[in-house]
Chains A and B, each alone.
Chain A
């Protein structure tokens, strides 16, 4: 019975939203890249680079929001690097993406070790604090859960709304969607396919980096190597789950966050009977099940992973 009562606790939903926030940034970022026809498997590495860059900037004396901007900038640069290989040179998106992940991860760690050659523990920063919005607390369960969140979580929600607005309500969004479905038609309109794709990669990768920055600047207050722990890859799966739509991406990320928050509570509740590993598997198994159910109907961008070379059919 207690297992169901958990679902009515504000702290449970607060945890679910906290766990979901980096995924929201990541999945919206991946979605923007893929809508423009580029699969960005550099996401895991870009998370690491963003986590490292934002935290380091704040540690070196920058303000929190400056740190966020620097993380986004670093992410955008890695996105452009990805674009150089996949959009301009038309190389394999899979190989390039994995390469970016390996490179960004190693570069972030190299930078960390150069900056801190002999520390016993990574230095801490003063992270984003919960906003504690009093007005929200009047709403039962979900209100107090939202009130506990930091500004970055609200930024993540704003990014979802903004992405949905731009993709479906602006000429720019139409062009981005078109470049991922039928780049030749965009080219015929006189728009730059490469320019749109590079722009989408830069913007999407900047969001991915914010996902990492959330971990070191809000969920925690220091950078640890390996702390991204596969969150980027989860975002790639969630993009398919969301069938490339921002509002579904938000639901998918929240669902995953809720599963993860739920499993750790179940571990303490029924851990004596069921092995802990079963609970740890749960969010991933449920993600696979959800993918299987949803992905068959997924409407993927037709030109995803196809490089566009002008004049070639």
Chain B
């Protein structure tokens, strides 16, 4: 419960940060980081899952792009168990990195302890919580805006008025995207009902597939594919799917109607620039995953799969979001099946 509240109040703070709150934090942060660093920066990333995992693959891609530009040297450890995470962080830190990127969802306390032990290194971690001084910045996949837009596509496309959603774990990072998707679907189709299930695993495609089959059996004709495996079930049973984080429409031609994409480049590039300039702050970089910063996007819509009037509707809403006229709610509560 406290997590939800933190998160909600965090959004307000996030807005404040974007609006110039950076200066406040800058004044109070440690001095150790406040010196310019030469190119290329020494960067290490520590992931708890393989780099093929959708979420992590976006970070990996952005860092590889930075490496190819010559901005950084990039070393990474994947599939690091949470119980090993602190040790690996310390190892990279003692080897003398400029910047360490990772995900601290299950190791918040330990990760923040390590960061405070190495004040000269910038830490940027995926987290559901707030940044901590002097050097622990956070980010997250705030792609609820395009998720809302894909929800509109799904709400218009469903004929049975039943949409199925299969998620990994019911945590804020997953919940907020599902909630935004459901809100988007409801906005264009008030009659739509949702079936929601979680599989309690990030990486069990056979299980995700079974959950999707169960929903299709109950009449779902659009599947929100938060996990690998759901789109496969949709393809086998000839229903449509909505993609999440990555665009897999090339692998499933004719199955994926739309995808909400996450792009880590704006976040990573901003972090690298700040560390190089000596202006790195323990800030919340979540805002750089918003559409306005190019951190999130709606995949191109195929007129063969989505009717033109729906495309126009979605594009109009997309413009409203980009212009700041429409704000998609961030709701981290666990989504529930409609009765």
Contact = CB atoms under 8 A, between A and B. Distances in A.
8 contacts: A12-B217, A222-B205, A224-B203, A226-B201, A261-B210, A264-B197, A267-B196, A276-B198
B204 interface: yes
A280 B197 CA distance: 10
A276 B334 CA distance: 9
Which size class do A's interface residues fall under? 35 or more
Interface stretch (B49-57, B257-265, B288-296): B49-57
Interface in B193-230: 195-207, 209-211, 213-215, 217-218, 228-229
Nearest to A214: B206
Chain B interface, DSSP helix/strand/loop, else mixed = loop
Q: Which of B198, B201, B209 has the largest number of chain A CB atoms within 10 A?
A: B198
Nearest to A270: B337
Contacts of A277: 170, 198, 200
A226 B210 contact: no
Interface in A16-33: 18-19
A268 B209 contact: no
Contact of A119 (B52, B61, B207, B248): B52
A90 B195 CA distance: 53
B161 to A, nearest CB: 15
Contact of A227 (B200, B206, B248, B334): B206
Interface in A233-257: none
A265 B57 CA distance: 31
A224 B200 contact: no
Contact of A267 (B52, B197, B209, B232): B197
Nearest to A280: B200
A224 B199 CA distance: 15
A87 interface: no
In this complex, the member of A18, A121, A268, A277 whose beta carbon has the largest number of chain B beta carbons within 10 angstroms is A268
A220 B206 contact: yes
A76 interface: no
A143 B156 CA distance: 37
A18 B210 contact: yes
Nearest to A10: B217
